[in-house]
Amino acid sequence: MTNTEQECKRYSVFRKSFHIPKAWADKEDVTFLVNHSYTTSQADQALEDIARRLKNLGYMRSESDNRMIHDYLCYFLQDLLDKNGDVYLTEEEIRSSKPIRCFFEGLTPDLLIKTKPGRDKPLIVDVYTGGRDAGNTKAKYKAFGSVADLMTVHPNSLLTDLTGILPVDDVAYMHRHFQVFMTEYQYWKSCVSLNMILKSDIPCLPITSPVSRNSELTAQFALGMKEYAEFVLNRSNI
């Protein structure tokens, strides 16, 4: 029996391991939730702990709040892009560069992935989990079609949406672990809604170790995009 399987069997309540993105790895609130640390508390306290930890992270502030799902998909995708040596800019990095932000006319894609053999143009990745007009956003991004391609990623169609971004094995890995995450996510919501700790069981999954992002190539890509954006903006002012 593997260490992961032994760890899973220690918990009588619903608790199965799944891929934790690097962006969440050092967050104590995430660790508390995924380890079901609240199971040592009384039921009322446990439910309070679940809600408090989620709110500490800025998630699940309402029934329609899907930001945790959105962030999990974005961070998970970043881990796999790092694993494969892809170079990309995050939403925060795009937002922090005025020329790139102006180039995209105020839009901030979730990710902008650099070209590589087999990909002739940068790839705009938009992770959609509801809460806005997807058609309107897609139309705005498609206006940049001469410069970059658009890929919209939906939680319900990962296997098809991620084709062309990730290798087949990585797509399958992400899909499997996302399903476990979603079951866990819905579990937290259900516990709070039903005011009880639920029990269930699903198989453990193998977990790969994350690979560090190539900061040098990322900086080169950011500089190149900045210079290109400034060039285009300067021409538009002529």
Q: What residues does each domain of the chain span?
A: 3-65+169-194, 85-165+213-236
Mean pLDDT along residues 99-124? 92
Q: In this model, does residue 183 exceed pLDDT 60? A: yes
Give the residue-averaged pLDDT of 152-169.
Answer: 92
Q: Supply the pLDDT for residue 44.
A: 74
> Contact 109/72 with Cβ under 8 angstroms?
no
Give the residue, 134 or 190, on which the prediction is more confident: 190
**Is the pLDDT confidence value at 34 over 90?**
no
- Place 63 in a pLDDT band, splitting at 50, 70 and 90: low
238 or 161, greater pLDDT: 161
Residue 7 has pLDDT above 50, yes or no: no
* Segment among 77-91, 138-152, 155-169, 215-229 with least mean pLDDT: 138-152
Task: Compare 136 and 198 and report the one with higher pLDDT.
Answer: 136
Mean pLDDT of the chain: 85
Q: Give the pLDDT of residue 41.
A: 63
Of 150 and 133, the one with more pLDDT: 150
pLDDT of residue 4: 46
Strand segments, DSSP code E, in 40-129 are 88-90, 111-113, 123-127
Query: pLDDT value at position 8?
Result: 43
Cα distances from 135 to residues 114, 129, 155, 206, in angstroms, run: 24, 13, 16, 37
Tell me the backbone φ, ψ of residue 27, rounded to 5 degrees. Answer: -90, 115
Q: For residue 168, what pLDDT is reported?
A: 95
Percent of the chain past pLDDT 70, that is, above it, reads 85
CA distance 197 to 192: 8
Q: Which residues contact 169 (CB under 8 A, 6 or more apart)?
A: none
Given this model, what pLDDT does residue 133 score?
72
**pLDDT value at residue 46:** 78
